Chain A
Amino acid sequence: MAAGLGFKTFAVGEVLSAANVNGYLMQGVLVFASAAARDAAITAPAEGQFAYTKDTNGLWYYDGATWVASGATGDIEGVTAGTGISGGGTSGTVTITNSMATAITTAGDLIKGTGSGTFDRLPIGSTGNVLTVAGGVPTWAAPAGGGGYTLISSGSLTGASVSITSIAATYYRLAIFCNDFYPSVDDSLAITVNSTTGIYANTVGRDTSAVTSTNLEFVLPENQNNAAVDSQAVMYIDNYANTTSYKNTFQNIFTRKADDSSFLIGGGSGFIRTTSAISSIQILYNSGATHSGGTYAVYGVK
């Protein structure tokens, strides 16, 4: 492409020379419907040639190798960060950043509003927590009461006793479940609380004028066989955290011999003669047998 000759106003009747055409007329901007139309019309563009594409309102120049979009294609003069965004600029490559995204530091974090147009990070809550509002602010908290069971402890039954300690006084009732348990020798499953013996009564109708049962026994018609299967027992202790009254209990138990020659079913109610809050439970066998198997789970009930 010839070098441009500048600007010239032609007079009426003036004859255009080849140099005029190449030096003045061909230096302008050629208008096309699209880039495809441009490429079809100009198969051998010259360096420095300009084109305008109407479909995108794009202005292009040819750099000797390819058509390059001119920076003058739009009317944006700068990018300014607004609320919740940082960065911006008035030239070159402009980066803007979502400030809410950068406020998050840990998987599970949430963003909460702190006022009109402001926010901060709400760190992820603990397992089982629910989102609630306290003092007008969203916060994670343990689920409110309403009859739910919360697992306090679970595990295997081994040794002469399993002691579950440091039980929080935050529930109304304790529910103790034992499954698939059997003793080293024929015996009956029992519990004690706070490692204390001699304060239990556990049979309906029994004379409780002297409440001195050593352990709180899951009463059966006879001792559980040491090869029993399917053993299931549950005991509830109400009001366990109370420090002024005795504690009501009720329990059920079922066990059978593997050959179905014997089914033992037991149940009853009773109480624990202590005004102390119960903070630990021992699961053992009434006459000193050891656990040969089984599992337990202690739940707090609200």
Chain B
Amino acid sequence: MSKPIIKIVDCASGEVIEREMNAAEFKQYEENVKSVEKQKAEAESKAIAKAVLLEKLGITAEEAVLLLS
């Protein structure tokens, strides 16, 4: 399976290289994708938990801000 292509532009020399990611870059790329997915999942969980809490309290997010201010 081919790895994703990356483009590297060297401003000093003007050289442009387009090549497949090497093994280390591909590993980092996959880790980044997982990391982003995890962060998004955590953010969504927090948002859901927040919504559930507000619903239990019977107040809106704006009302919660007012209560805490």
Residues of A participating in the B interface, judged by any CB pair closer than 8 Å: 152-153, 155, 158-168, 197-198, 212-215, 286-288, 290
Contact = CB atoms under 8 A, between A and B. Distances in A.
Given A155-B16, A215-B32, A162 B9 contact: yes
Contacts of A286: 36
Given A214-B39, A288-B33, A155 B11 contact: no
A194 to B, nearest CB: 13
B32 to A, nearest CB: 5
A193 to B, nearest CB: 14
Contacts of B37: 287
Interface string B1-34: 0001111111111001010010000001100110
A19 to B, nearest CB: 94
Contact of B5 (A155, A160, A166, A213): A160
A197 B7 contact: no
A213 B39 contact: yes
A247 B10 CA distance: 22
Contacts of B36: 214-215, 286-288
Minimum-distance CB pairs A-B, first 10:
A160-B4, A159-B5, A166-B12, A288-B33, A214-B35, A162-B7, A163-B8, A166-B11, A214-B36, A166-B10
21 contacts: A153-B11, A155-B7, A155-B9, A158-B5, A158-B18, A159-B5, A159-B6, A160-B21, A163-B8, A163-B9, A164-B11, A165-B8, A165-B9, A197-B32, A212-B39, A213-B39, A214-B36, A215-B32, A287-B36, A288-B29, A288-B33
**Residues of B in contact with A, size category:** 20 to 34
A4 to B, nearest CB: 83
Contacts of B39: 212-214
A51 B29 CA distance: 100
Interface of B: 4-13, 16, 18, 21, 28-29, 32-33, 35-37, 39-40
A127 to B, nearest CB: 13
Contacts of A288: 29, 32-33, 36
B6 to A, nearest CB: 5
Contacts of A164: 9, 11
B9 A160 contact: no
Contacts of A167: 11
B11 A152 contact: yes
B18 A166 contact: no
